[in-house]
Amino acid sequence: MKEPDERLHPLAHGALHHCFGCGSLNRTGLRLQFFTNAAGEVVCPVKLARRFQGPPGHAHGGIIATLLDEAMSKANRARNVVAMTRSLEVEYLRPVPVGMRLELKSRHLRAEGRKHFCESELTNHSGEVLARGRALFIAIDPRKFDAGRQATERL
- The pLDDT tens digits for 96-113 are 999 999 999 999 999 999
Reply yes or no on whether 5 is catalytic: no
Report pTM. Answer: 0.86
Dihedral angle computed from the Cα positions of residues 81, 83, 87 and 88, in that order, rounded to the nearest 10 degrees? 60
Q: What number does CATH give the domain 9-153? A: 3.10.129.10
Per-residue pLDDT at 64 exceeds 90: yes
Residue 4: pLDDT band (50, 70, 90) is very low
